[in-house]
Amino acid sequence: MIELYHWEPNAESLALLICLKEKNVEFHGQYVDMLQLEHHTAAYLELSPKAQVPLLVAEGENMSDAGLALQYLAERYPEPRLAPTDPSGWYDLQAWTAWLGGMMGLAADVALLGWNTVMLEKMPAKELAAFRAKVAELPQEKKSGWAAVWSDAEADEDELLNAEERVQQQVAKIESILIDAEWITGGAYSIIDMTAFAHLHSVPALVPGIMNHSETPRITSWLARMHKRPAVAGALAMHNSTIAPVVYAAPGS
């Protein structure tokens, strides 16, 4: 059976949860509490030496790259079809995957905004202090990804404004793509819609001035179509947090 080690249904974890449910694939979900640094325990590091979450385990392979894991699921379980069948379409899929994910893509900016505008406000002071203390105990080489998100106040105003500006540019790109299509690539629903939704669904709550019915009507309609899908609703329901059951912000990796 497939195993998926995941945190809250957000970012890459959400994309994989949606895909598994769309494919109707039986899997065992293992919740990894990133705020408790469970992904830095010895047991988890044996599975994912770089402490990456999510982690898909299938056919003897530990897949810590979420984008590649999505592509694996798309090909391993071909029905319903959720990926292109032509070389040009696969090029577009790879380009979108690189653009949406990683610490240099949309994911990083949304995480920064989410951590500063939601999690810092919602987390009880004792829990936040305990989290910071645990991060401080990590080896120096493990701190860099986290420091970009939670260090100092946690980010200064200029950093947050820059992140908002980049998100706005990225949202504008997707809005333009949706002028002539209901879905992002090739006119068909795909794993790229799952990935984009996983990063964008929280933006209306984080920065409502960037994404709303007036400014981004096409993305707003696309979000509504995504929310209506049973697989999306089922994935979003798989949350453990009481801090912000709709908007989550991954604190780093």
pLDDT in tens, 147-168: 555 554 456 778 888 889 999 9
| Residue 99's pLDDT band (cuts 50, 70, 90) | confident
pLDDT at residue 149, rounded to an integer? 52
Residue from 188, 228, 175 nearest 74 by CA: 188
* pTM over cut 0.75: yes
Q: Are 99 and 108 in contact (CB under 8 A)?
A: no
Are 62 and 48 within 8 A, CB to CB?
Answer: yes
Q: pLDDT-derived band of residue 139, with 50, 70 and 90 as boundaries?
A: confident
How far apart, in Å, are the Cα atoms of 113 and each of 105, 161, 171, 200? 13, 9, 15, 12
Whether 243 shows a pLDDT value over 80: the answer reads no
- The pLDDT tens digits for 48-70 are 998 899 999 999 999 999 999 99
Mean pLDDT to the nearest integer, 220-242: 90
CATH number of 97-229: 1.20.1050.10
| pLDDT exceeds cutoff 80 at 44 | yes
What pLDDT is recorded for position 247? 52
- pLDDT, position 142: 62
Closest C-alpha among 125, 117, 94 to residue 195:
94
Decide which of 115 and 190 is more confident. Answer: 190
